[in-house]
Amino acid sequence: MAEPGESQENMPTADEPLLRTVDLTRHFRLGGMFSKHVLHAVDDFNIAIHEREIVALVGESGSGKSTVAWLLARVYPPTRGEIYYRGRQLRKLRSRKDLLAYRGEVAMVFQDPFSAFNPVFRVSHGVMRNLVLHRPELGREERRREAERVFDSVGLSPKMLTRFPYEMSGGERQRVGFAQALAVRPKLILADEPVSMLDVSIRAGVLNMMAGLRDQEGVSILYITHDIASARYVADRVIVLYGGHLVEAGPTETVLRDPKHPYTQLLLSAVADPREKVESISADTGEPPKVINPTEGCRFRWRCPYAIEKCSQVTPRPSPIGSVQVACHVAVAEAEDVSTRTGTASVTK
């Protein structure tokens, strides 16, 4: 299986990922046309998503995870870099027909179940519009049946099609969000924090539903979240973002069992499990990363207990350590330096 961040040329066609990005970058100019302040939301981001897999994009606020989703959904264009969908460059898609075709294969689910629906319309509105726009071959009766089918596949009764959003609970609305996405028969669903705003007891149902979509409908999901525990539950692979940079990526169990990047370690130690007793004290107060006019170098260095001089001079790029990609000078150096490790404080366990 091709790993995230693998070189853009020489992609093996047999294993062509569904979607991959090359140095995806997005900057925002803050404060007017002539301002000098540039927010680096995402920088040089490389990802590959394959069929039938759930990839978790984990990060906190300011990490750029939502920006990645909006870039992939083509809400706005990247500042630099390329997105390839099934081998075709998205930038080259100009005609309405091509764009619509892309939107018919890559759909998005939003975080806030309360603002994701137009309160004026019934919940069937989004599903119907999606069917009209992306599956024009269907007649009226067929559309109605499709709407019922997608509602069923997310665990909602077809009777709910006539309800208004305010008549449904948060968990039900999120399922409608997925139903809307499914209506176009997508290959990939971009789920932007789909369970963050739901009660804990409801999340399980939605997470299970997502896993079911991958297994039964063959849909890939980019699961964006700040909750690494839920990422463990549904995702096949995990990508950790910090300050717009990819810091660690790899198979879920590997990354979570043996995190190599100091930020991943910090994140894992901060997540509390109600059943856990171990208290790990950290002096880190959770200050957000500096992403406005950032300088060269690792963006985590100010909070990193292992930072060396190189960290403030050279921006670390993701490098492979085993089956995982890690963007950390210290971790990479240590992994290379196995034979001469002297037992002083080390990043890797």
Partner 1 sequence: MAEPLLEVSDLSVAYLTEAADVRAVDQVSFTVDRGEFLGIVGESGCGKSTLLFGVGQLLSPPGEVVGGSVIFRGSDMVRLTGDELRNMRWRDYSVVMQSAMNALNPMKSIGAQFKDTLQAHGSMSSAEIRERSAEVLKLVGIDPTHLASYPHQLSGGMRQRAMIAMALLLTPQLVMMDEPTSALDVVAQRSLMSKIKELQQRLGFAVLFVTHDMSVVSRYSDRVLVMYAGQIAEAAATEEIFEHPLHPYTRGLMSAFPSLRGPRRELLGIPGSPPDLARPPAGCRFHPRCPEVMPVCLSHEPELYPVGGAEVRCLLYAEQAKEAV
Partner 2 sequence: MATDAASNTAITEPAAVTDAEVRAEPRRFTRAVLHNRKAMVGAVILLIMVFVAVFPGLIAPYDPQATVGPPNASPSSAHLLGTTQLGQDVLSQLIWGTRLTLWVTVVVSVIATFISMIIGVTAAYIGGLTDRVLTVITDVFLILPVLPLLILLSAYLTPGVSSLIIVLTITSWAFQARQLRSQGLSVRNRDFLVAARVRGERPLYIILVEIVPTMTSLLAASFLALAVFEVGFAASLQFLGLGNSGELMWGTMLYNAQQAAALESGNPWWALAPGLAVAVMGAGFALVNYAFDEIGNPALRPVRRGKRRGRASA
DSSP SS3 for 153: helix
DSSP tag of 292: B
Q: In angstroms, how far apart are the furthest CA atoms of the chain?
A: 72
DSSP SS3 for 311: helix
Helix, strand, coil percentages (3-state) for the chain, rounded to 5, are 35, 20, 45
Nearer to partner 1, 138 or 202 (CB): 202
Residues 212-241 that bind partner 1 (CB under 8 A): 226-230, 232-233
* Residue span binding partner 1 (CB under 8 A) among the ranges 146-154, 180-188, 269-277, 341-349: 269-277
Q: Which of partner 2, partner 1, none has residue 323 at its interface (CB below 5 to 8 Å by kind)? A: none
CA distances from 261 to 7, 216, 249, 329 (A): 22, 34, 10, 9
The DSSP element (H or E) to which 106 belongs, if any, is strand 106-109
Helices (H) and strands (E) in the chain, counts: 10, 13
**Which x/- pattern, by CB under 8 A, does the window 268-307 give for partner 2?**
----------------------------------------
Report if residue 258 touches partner 1, rule: CB under 8 A: no
Give the residue from 199, 260, 204, 197 showing the smallest Cα distance to 229.
204
Distance of CA 158 to the CA centre of its chain: 30
The DSSP element (H or E) to which 180 belongs, if any, is helix 170-183
Residues 204-263 that bind partner 2 (CB under 8 A): 224, 226-227
d(CA 25, CA 80): 5
Q: Which of 5, 17, 64, 289 binds partner 2 (CB under 8 A)?
A: 64
Report if residue 200 touches partner 1, rule: CB under 8 A: yes
d(CA 298, CA 310): 9
Least gap, CB of 152 to partner 1 (angstroms): 17
Residues 50-69 that bind partner 1 (CB under 8 A): 60-61
Q: Which of partner 2, partner 1, none has residue 66 at its interface (CB below 5 to 8 Å by kind)? A: partner 2
Report if residue 205 touches partner 1, rule: CB under 8 A: yes
Rg (CA), the chain: 21
Nearer to partner 1, 108 or 266 (CB): 266
Q: Which of 30, 99, 270, 272 binds partner 2 (CB under 8 A)?
A: 99
State the residues that interact with partner 1 by CB under 8 A.
Answer: 60-61, 169-172, 199-205, 207-208, 226-230, 232-233, 256, 266-268, 270-276, 279, 281-282, 284-288
State the residues that interact with partner 2 by CB under 8 A.
Answer: 28, 41, 60-61, 64-67, 70, 73-75, 99-100, 103-104, 107-108, 110-120, 126, 129-130, 133-134, 164-166, 170, 180, 184, 192-193, 196-200, 224, 226-227
